[in-house]
Amino acid sequence: MSKKIKVVESPSEVYFAKTIQFTLLIEDKEVVFRYFEDNNGAESFQLTDNGWEPISEEYNFIEDFIVNGFITENSEVGEEFSEEDLEEYL
C-alpha cells in the first residue's frame, strides 16, 4: 500500500546564501574578488598572496558596484564601467 502525502503548509525559503567570484581588470591589474550574501548580511573579499581577505582600501569602491547591481552573477566578460557610471546611477 502506498503512503499518501499532503502538503499542509506552503514551502518557504528558510535560509539563503550565495557567493559570486569574479576577476576585474583595474588599471592594467587583474584582481579577484568574492561577494558573499546570506540572510544575515553580505561580505566582500579580495584574493591576496595570503588568501581571501577583506577588500583593501584601494579597491573599496568595488563594493559599490556590487551592491548597486553593476557586477552580478550575470555579468559578461568584456563589460566595462567606471566610477563615473556609478556616480550617474546614484
Q: Is residue 7 part of a domain?
A: no
Q: Which helix (H) or strand (E) holds 14?
A: none
Q: What is the pLDDT of residues 37-59, one digit of tens each?
A: 999 999 999 999 999 999 999 99
Q: Which helix (H) or strand (E) holds 65?
A: helix 62-67
Q: Is residue 66 part of a domain?
A: yes
User: With contact defined as beta carbons under 8 Å apart, do 18 and 36 qualify?
Assistant: yes
For residue 21, the enclosing domain spans: 17-74
Question: Residue 90 has what pLDDT?
Answer: 64
Q: Is residue 12 part of a domain?
A: no
- Enter the pTM of the model: 0.81
Question: What total of structural domains would you count in the chain?
Answer: 1
Q: Is residue 41 part of a domain?
A: yes
How would residue 84 be classed by pLDDT, with cut points 50, 70 and 90?
A: confident
Query: Residue 85 and residue 52: Cα distance in Å, rounded?
Result: 28
Q: Is residue 2 part of a domain?
A: no
Query: Residue 64 and residue 90: Cα distance in Å, rounded?
Result: 10
